[in-house]
């Protein structure tokens, strides 16, 4: 998928609003993932998947950080996300 300049600008504007709360939003998102799709917990056997656990918060922050990195490198998403891709291969 190719992002237009307008798409890129919209993402950057949205991320400015989200960015200050990214870790909190990331933790909430991971927590919801485990609630809505309990089978996803099987990918995290070493986690305390309870809502609000330190491990859920930490992983949510990692996800948010990856998205922040992606939003900052919209012209080179494969390069920006290559480390993340390697971890999940």
Domains of the chain as residue ranges with CATH: 5-87 (1.10.490.10)
| Continuous H helices in the chain | 5-19, 22-36, 54-72, 77-80, 82-87
How far is 15 from 34, CA to CA, in rounded Å? Answer: 24
The token duo for 30 is: 């991971």
Residue 82: pLDDT band with limits 50, 70, 90: confident
19-71: per-residue pLDDT in tens?
Answer: 789 889 999 999 999 999 999 999 999 989 998 899 999 999 998 888 888 89
pTM score of the predicted model: 0.80
Measured at the alpha carbon of residue 31, what is the angle toward residues 8 and 25, in degrees to the nearest 5? 35
Q: What is the pLDDT of residue 52?
A: 87
């Amino acid at each position: 998928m190719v992002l237009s300049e307008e798409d890129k600008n919209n993402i950057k504007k949205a991320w400015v609003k989200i960015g200050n709360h990214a870790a909190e939003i990331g933790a909430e998102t991971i927590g919801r993932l485990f609630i809505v799709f309990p089978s996803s917990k099987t990918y995290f056997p070493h986690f305390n998947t309870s809502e609000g656990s330190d491990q859920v918060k930490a992983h949510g922050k990692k996800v948010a950080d990856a998205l922040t990195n992606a939003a900052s490198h919209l012209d080179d998403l494969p390069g920006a996300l290559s480390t993340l891709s390697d971890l999940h291969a």
